[in-house]
Amino acid sequence: MTQPVAETVTVGPDARTIATLSRPGKSPGLIWLGGFASDMTGTKAEALDAFAARRGLAMTRFDYSGHGASGGTFAEGTISRWLEEARCVFDRTTGPQIVVGSSMGGWLALLLAQAHRDAVGAEASRLAGLVLIAPATDMTRTLMWEGMSEAERAALMETGAHQASSDYDDEGYLITRALIEDGDKHLFGDRLIETGCPVHIVQGVQDTDVPWQHATDLVSRLASDDVVLTLIKDGDHRLSRPEDIERIEAAIADIIAES
C-alpha cells in the first residue's frame, strides 16, 4: 500500500508554511478540511485516508496555519486565512474532487465551492461533491458570538480574545476579536447557497456544539442542489465512532456512484 507524501506549501504574502499529506490515486480525489483547533491526523481524517487507500483514490489532507504541523500561531487565524489555504491546497490537485469538511471545515468547504465556481465558472468546476460533517456554517456569528454572554462579548471586544470552554479540551479554545470580525465577511446568512454538485450532510442529533437544527436550516438553503441529510440520533459532535465513520464513508461512496 502506498503511503501519503508529506509536503509543505507556502501560502499568502506572509509566506505561511502549510503542511500537507497527499496520497496518490485515481479520481475523484478526496480533500479533507478539518475543524476548528483540530489537525489532519485525527480519527476521521485517518479513517478516510484508509478508505481512500482501499479504493485506490487520491486523498489530500492539510493543517491550517496555527494548527498541527503547519506554521503560524493559532491566535492569528481567521476564516479568510484558512480559506486562502484551503483554496491553495485545492488548486494543487488535479481532476474531480470530493471535499469532505468537518465542523468549521464544512463552512470552509461551502466557501471553497463558491470561490472555485466564481473563479473557473460552473462548467469548468472540478467539484464532484461535498460531504459535510456537522457543518458549522457561519459559526463565528451564530455559534460563537451569539452564544456568548454580554460580559463575554464586552471582554472579547476590550481584550481582543476570549477563552471558551470545550467538552473536548480541558483548556478550552481561543476565540479572537479578529476571528469574529473577519468571519462576518464570509457569512451566508439566509441566502441560497449554490454549489453545483451533490451535497451529503452527516449530523449528530446529540451534538451540543453544532445543533442538528443548524444542519436542517442549511439544507433548506441548498434547495437547488442534490442534497442528502443523514441524522444520527445518538451521534455527538465528533462523529468518530466506527458506525459514524461508516456513514461518512457511505456518503462519499454514494457521490462516487453518482458521478
- Cell numbers at residue 212, please? 442538528
CA–CA gap between residue 258 and residue 23 (Å, rounded): 23
Q: Which residue from 148, 174, 163, 165 is spatially nearest to 67, judged by alpha carbons?
A: 174
Q: How many CB atoms lie within 10 A of CB 170?
A: 7
Among 146, 147, 137, 148, which residue's Cα sits nearest to residue 190? 137
Grid cell 485515481 in the structure block, residue? 26
- Assess contact for 41 and 48: CB atoms under 8 A: no
Cell of 21: 499529506
Residues tagged active-site: 103, 207, 237
Cell 469538511 belongs to residue? 101
Whole-number Å distance between alpha carbons of 86 and 105 = 9
117 contacts 194 by C-beta, under 8 angstroms: yes
